[in-house]
Amino acid sequence: MRSFDMPLQHQTVTLRCDVTGQPKPIVSWFKNGQPVDQSDTKKVLIKRYSLKLINVISVYDSGNYTCVAVNRVGEIRHTFTLDVVVRYWGHPQITLGPRNQTLFEGESVQLGCSYYSDVEALVQWFRYRQVNGSYFDPSGNGYDRSILQQSGEASLTDETRLSLTNVSLSDSGMYSCFFSNSLGFSVSYASIIILPAPVYEISDNSSLPFEADRSTLMIVGGASSAFILVATSFLLIICCVQRQRVSSRIIFKKSVAFEDCRDIYYNLRLSDEKQILSVPLDSKWEIHPSRIELGGEIGEGAFGKVHKGLLACSPAPALTVAVKMLKDDVTERETVEFLKEIEMMKSIEPHVNLISFIGCCTQCDPIWMIVECSPWKSQNIFTTA
């Protein structure tokens, strides 16, 4: 069971139920044990293996949503729990306030403040000055408050900024961003401290540290420039030679995104000799190939083949397994699809009517997927790819 907590109403949520099987299963959706009403296509949309609830409007859309996958062999089901949280309108909420800053005279700074408001809000920037060592009176109101910047009706989730350029000592003080609407207001403060600009003294004998004269600087600078020019030329010559030796070398990164929001990255390098695929190690499922003794071929598809094998499980007896691998002449796309299939098998919970996933060998060439070898369960699903 998987839970979805909706922070706000009037949102759209998609429930996915990705299944596979042979024969191809039929998926049905139920809410609290009753079939989902599909008559209102503007609110409910069922497409293949997903259920989309459009513009969830109230707590009445909460409940248990179950997908049921059925074929002639059996059925499996998975339940999602959806809780819709009704949020009431209120005063603006500040999501990020301005930061305290310490500057030197002549510098510039930009204060930022972002907020969220259910209705249109007025955005104002204020500045406060100290009175008797405090910026606020006993009632909490600011002393000598003056408006620096004011906007009209700001859009929702808008971020306002106040720019202070070429600051002076008189710009020191307390600043605030103030948001208000018909339901209330919110305010956030930041302290700005301006320090006198530093004064650097230079001796009359030399303008450089360690008493380095100008002629020495010119010699060192010229030698450095010459060295950089020679090194750059040498590197260009090496690159040209390498290009002649290797006429076809491609290095790139491929990202394969899965529906459960997990990204797996593969680095593939194509050279004149062979393809080398580097896959991140998954210690939970990775099996060292030395533990597997391959037997005869028991199936073959368009791109892959399946061998019978023995998996060493010391001190327990060896386990008979089915080992799927790709053929030698597969393309890069077929290799990535095979890796996606392995990731999908990791996410499928064991079931009496499904071939169980045991592990994989992704740190060797070729890549193997190890599954249960069952005489009464069809291996056809693993040989068609």
* Number of C-beta neighbours around residue 246 at 10 A: 10
Burial of 229 (0-12, 13-18, 19+ CB in 10 A): exposed
What does the domain layout of the chain look like in residue ranges?
2-84, 93-195, 253-382
Residue-level pLDDT at 306: 92
Residue-level pLDDT at 206: 47
Please tell me the distance from the alpha carbon of residue 281 to that of residue 79, in angstroms, as a whole number.
31
Q: What one-character-per-residue DSSP string does 114-144 give?
A: EEE-SS-EEEEEEEE--BTTBSB-TTSPBTT
More reliable by pLDDT, 334 or 218: 334
**By C-alpha distance, which of 130, 136, 131 is closest to 173?**
130
**In three state form, how does the secondary structure of 19-63 look?**
CCCCCCCEEEEEECCEECCCCCCCCEEEECCEEEEEEECCHHHCE
Residue-level pLDDT at 213: 54
Please tell me the distance from the alpha carbon of residue 277 to that of residue 95, in angstroms, as a whole number.
44
Residue-level pLDDT at 131: 84
Q: What angle do CA 195, 197, 201 make, to 5 degrees?
A: 140
Confidence category of residue 167, pLDDT binned at 50, 70, 90: very high
The residues with which 302 forms a beta bridge, in sequence order, are none
For residues 46-75, average pLDDT: 84
Domain 93-195: top CATH class: mainly beta
For residues 44-71, average pLDDT: 83
Query: Where does 2-84 sit in CATH, by number?
Result: 2.60.40.10
CATH match for 253-382 among 3.30.200.20, 3.40.1780.10, 3.20.20.220, 3.30.390.30: 3.30.200.20
Q: Are 379 and 352 in contact (CB under 8 A)?
A: no
Is the pLDDT score of 102 beyond 70? yes
Determine the residue type at 228: I
Chain mean pLDDT for the chain: 76
For residues 16-21, average pLDDT: 88
Burial of 9 (0-12, 13-18, 19+ CB in 10 A): middle
With a pLDDT cut of 70, the percent of the chain lying above it is 74
> Is 9 strand, coil or helix?
coil
Please tell me the distance from the alpha carbon of residue 355 to that of residue 7, in angstroms, as a whole number.
39
Please tell me the distance from the alpha carbon of residue 107 to that of residue 193, in angstroms, as a whole number.
12
> Is 362 strand, coil or helix?
coil
Residue-level pLDDT at 224: 72
Q: What angle do CA 45, 75, 21 make, to 5 degrees?
A: 80
Confidence category of residue 253, pLDDT binned at 50, 70, 90: very low
Non-local (6+) Cβ contacts of 230 within 8 A are none
Residue-level pLDDT at 221: 65
For residues 199-220, average pLDDT: 56
Topology agreement, domain 2-84 and domain 93-195: yes
Q: What is the pTM of this model?
A: 0.34
Q: Are 363 and 326 in contact (CB under 8 A)?
A: no
The residues with which 175 forms a beta bridge, in sequence order, are 127, 190
**By C-alpha distance, which of 124, 129, 186, 183 is closest to 151?**
124
